[in-house]
Structure 1
Amino acid sequence: MIEAQGLTKRYGKTLAVDDLSFSVTPGKVTGFLGPNGAGKSTTMRMILGLDNPTEGQVRIGGKRYHELHHPLRTVGALLDAKWVHPNRSARAHLAWMAKSNKISPRRVDEVLETVGLSAVANKRAGGFSLGMSQRLGIAAALLGDPEVLLFDEPVNGLDPEGILWIRKFMHRLAEEGRTVFVSSHLLSEMALTASELVVIGKGKLISQSSTDDFVARASENSVKVRSPQLDVLRDALTRASATVAPADDGVVVSGLDIAKIGEIAMENGVVLHELSPQRGSLEQAFMQITGDAVEYHADLEAEAQRALAPTAN
């Protein structure tokens, strides 16, 4: 279990993380989301003792990282897939890590097999593709058979088959009762991978909830309606101050709950073929809830590009 309490990190005048508290429990994949510059990487570094918090603390299984006697046996992490010395082979890199934490050398071959790198175990890591480097980083995280695992953008560089593999792998780790904490910008993938979410913006906690609750809280109250009498129903709903938008084979109604729409249809003698609530996506929910925490918007980027473009004579 990971418990962060009042984490604050300042770099000079810059406040990177601001009084951040959250917990990550075992048995689930917990996604760590936030816009660029939200403080996700800084938070992960503080969890692993790579940065000291200005205020607050974070504990892993009740202990701070520096209090762990053999840390790789408690927590495994992938923060930067390319940090390996380029002239070391995958096997040599893992063997060095294993020796530093008194882990059996047999474990090196086990994790290489697990991530599908056995065939290239003796090749220089500097020649690995990004996808292969990600797999090596995952192998390093698994080396001590830890109960807690942290992954920062673990699917970068992976092909669709690799992405599916790591998604299933993370689910399996969680089913084994481990604590799995994953940061990613691929929201469509996080919707399939994470059952819990910790969402931050500008260093502050925005939300901690299940993925389903996060999406439901942000989704607009909308209902899909199909009817052979759409014109009559559209007029009645508009008079009731609902917003009615066309859909492929019907309309989408917002501003009224599903029961009220059914009542209006009955009052106007309208036959209904479908009346169903519409669920938004994680991406839509994320954009809606974190909108105020984004420091650099796409429209600002476009404006900057226009300003830098040469002026025509």
Structure 2
Amino acid sequence: MIKIAGLTKRYGDRTAVDGLTFTVEPGRVTGFLGPNGAGKSTTMRMILGLDRPDAGTVTIGDRRYVDLPRPMREVGALLDARAVHPMRTARDHLLCLAQTNAIPAARVDEVLELVGLTSVARKRAGTFSLGMGQRLGIAVALLGDPKVLMFDEPVNGLDPEGIKWIRELMRGLAAEGRTVLVSSHLMSEMALTADHLVVIGRGRLIADVSIDDFVRQGSDVLVRADDQDSFAGRLTELGATVRPDDDGGLVVTGLEPREIGRAALAAGVVLSELTPRRVSLEEAYMDLTRDSIEFQASAA
């Protein structure tokens, strides 16, 4: 488990992370989302003790990362797959890390097999393609067989087979009861991989919710009814948000179709349309983070 409480990090007059609080629970894949510049990488670096927070705390299993006696046995992380000496072979790179964390050499060969690099284990990392380098970075994260894993853009450079493999790997690790935190800009992959979402913008928490609830909150129901004005008022009384549709109907959020139908029955209103419209994860994410985008291109 990763616990973040009141985490704040400033660089000069810029606040990169601002009072961030959330918990990454074991047994599920938590997607860590946010626009460029939102503070995701800074947060992950503070979890690993690479950056020191100006305020707040980060603990992994009730201890700071710097206090873990054998950190790779407890936390595996992929932040930058290029962080390897280019003249060192893949196997030697892993073996060096294993020796510093009292990890048996046999585990090196296991993870090389797991990530599909056995055939190139004796090749220098500097000759690797982007995808091969990414697989080596994933092998480093898995080396200590840790209970907590963090991945920053893990599918970067992977082909379709590799993307499917890392998706299934992360879900399998979570199913074993491990804590898995993954940051990505690929909403299509997050929709297939994550169980829970933590979304930040400009360093602040925007959402901490299951992926199903996140998408449901961005969905709506198209309603057409007799006496729509009075029915809209009734739906508002029940807690819904109602706005007119471009084609003359009502767009209702905050109530499920069944609840709307029951309200119509109770009010004696005849419905001519009741259409649930479920948005995609990408649409829900774009709508939620629209005001938090720091770097936005202008229209052509």
Structure 1 residues 116 and 253: CA distance shift in structure 2, 3 A: farther
Answer whether contact 1:237 1:261 (CA < 8 A) is retained.
no
Structure 2 counterpart of 1:295 = 294
Where do 5+ consecutive residues of structure 1 fail to align? Answer: 226-232, 307-313
Structure 2 distance, partners of 1:191, 1:79, is 21
C-alpha displacement of 1:244: 4.7
Counterpart in the other structure of 2:13? 13
147-156 or 233-242, which deviates more: 233-242
Q: CA deviation at 1:182?
A: 0.2
Pairing 1:204-219 to 2, within 5 Å after superposition: 204-217=204-217, 219=218
Matching residue of 1:255: 252
1:152-205 per-position Cα deviation (integer Å, ceiling 9, x unaligned): 000011111111111111010001110000000001110110001111110111
What's the TM-score once normalised by structure 2's chain length?
Answer: 0.87
**Aligned-residue offset at 1:220:** 3.9
Q: 2:4 is paired with a residue of what secondary structure?
A: strand
In the alignment, residue 164 of structure 2 is paired with which amino acid?
L
CA distance in 1, matches of 2:158, 2:129: 9
State the one-letter code of the partner of 1:35: P
TM-fit CA distance, 1:214: 1.2
- CA deviations 1:67-125 (Å, max 9, x no partner) are 00010000000000111111111000000000010100000000000001101111111
Q: CA deviation at 1:236?
A: 6.9
Distance 1:43 1:196 in 2: 18
- Alpha carbons of structure 1 residues 134 and 239: separation in structure 2 relative to 1, 3 Å: same
Other-structure match for 2:281: 282
Alpha-carbon contact 1:85-1:125 (below 8 Å) kept? yes
Q: Following TM superposition, by how much is the alpha carbon of 1:235 offset from its aligned partner in structure 2, in angstroms?
A: 8.6
Instruction: Map Cα deviations across residues 41-88 of structure 1 (whole Å, 9 max, x no partner).
Output: 000000000001011110001100110001000000000011111111
Mark the CA change 1:269 to 1:24 in structure 2 (over 3 Å): closer, same or farther: closer
Q: Shift of residue 222 of structure 1?
A: 2.1
Q: Deviations 1:252-305 (Å, cap 9, x if unpaired)?
A: 8623864657959x96696x7xx442211111111111111111223xx34xxx
CA distance in 2, matches of 1:98, 1:221: 51
Aligned length: 284
Instruction: Provide the C-alpha distance between the structure 1 equivalents of 2:270 and 2:74, rounded to a whole number of angstroms.
Output: 65
Could you tell me how far apart the structure 1 residues matched to 2:30 and 2:249 are? 32
Aligned partner letter, 2:215: V
Q: Do the aligned partners of 1:222 and 1:252 also contact (CA within 8 Å) in 2?
A: no
C-alpha distance in 1 between matches for 2:13 and 2:260: 53
Is 1:196–2:193 an aligned residue pair? Answer: no
Query: Which amino acid is the alignment partner of residue 149 of structure 1?
Result: L
RMSD, aligned α-carbons:
2.4
Deviation at 1:239, TM superposition (A): 9.6
Conserved 8 A contact 2:226-2:270 = no
68-77 or 206-215: which moved more? 206-215
C-alpha distance in 2, partners of 1:140/1:3?
23
Q: Distance in 2 between matches of 1:53 and 1:14?
A: 14
